[in-house]
Amino acid sequence: MREVEVSRLTDVIEKLCIEANEHLPEDVKCAIKTCRACEDGEIAKGVLDNIIENFDIADKENVPICQDTGMACVFLEIGQDVHFVGGDFTDAINEGVRRGYDKGYLRKSVVKDPVRRGNTGDNTPAMIYTEIVPGDQVKITVGPKGFGSENMSMIRMFKPSAGLQGIKDFILEVVETAGPNPCPPMVVGVGIGGTFDKCALLAKKALMRPLDSHNPDPFYADLENEMLEKVNKLGIGPQGFGGKTTAIGLNIETMPTHIAGMPCAVNINCHVTRHKTEVI
Ligand SMILES: O=C(O)C[C@H](O)C(=O)O
């Protein structure tokens, strides 16, 4: 059994909240630049140039890439041989978010109550997802999630008879309905299978996967390619002004499901698909 002080979680999460908000992952930057090279419309090229200039400035000056610094989604893969000591696990994570958003001058975007509102003032609580895995390490990923894009996400409980075509039509429907609202070019995270709740989590996890990776199952890897191409043929384009680049990536995560169902969730992210990981 390895003892891990919860204060280490706080320190790492403080740092990851700031780094994730200021520095876009290399695979995301690369995908945006590749799309810029393929665009031929003047407006589309101009918008992508602005986006590239924006993330370059954020990198150099250590400022947030976007005014929406997101709700802090914290994913922890916890080795089953880890024993957390020195305080409350959840409090330690929220303290990391509190400190990170304060120190990084990041906008506090969380309300106390979904209906009656009222800012919590420190961007807590974090959305915490834990998974127990073999080993004695803890892998921590912070993905600050903006809500212009979160608002355009959808889930549908398909009957199996809807088949693969039902899934394909749904992905296109969600992206088309989103239109310019999620600040395209977007990243499309798709979850298929599980239960209502697990399916939504799969879609969110799909957004954390590098854009230069593929689902290990060739069937779903092909579907990722096919659907990215189809999404880009919708012509929504950068910031909705038209063009070839509606999405810079489309990742699919799946899991087994019940014989009577085929849940599908589509979680939309803007081009600021931020996440940072550290292992302790
Ligand atoms: O909360 C915001 O800043 C706005 C939002 O992320 C948006 O896409 O407009």
| 85-144 pLDDT tens trace | 999 999 999 999 999 999 999 999 999 999 999 999 999 999 999 999 999 999 999 999
Distance 147 CA to ligand 1 centre (A): 6
pLDDT of residue 245: 96
Distance 170 CA to ligand 1 centre (A): 24
pLDDT of residue 145: 97
Phi, psi for residue 229 in degrees, rounded to 5:
-65, -45
Comparing CA positions, the residue from 55, 205, 76, 178 lying closest to residue 131 is 76
Protein residue with its CA nearest to atom 3 in ligand 1: 68
Report the complex ipTM.
0.91
Q: What is the band of 1 on the pLDDT scale with cuts at 50, 70, 90? A: very high
- List ligand 1's pocket residues with C-beta within 6 A: 67-68, 146-148, 183
pLDDT of residue 146: 96
Q: Stretch 227-234: mean pLDDT, rounded? A: 98
What are the distances in angstroms from CA 227 to CA 128, 175, 218, 224? 30, 11, 14, 5
pLDDT of residue 114: 97
For β-strands 138-145 and 71-79, DSSP reports them as antiparallel
pLDDT of residue 279: 98
Global pTM? 0.95
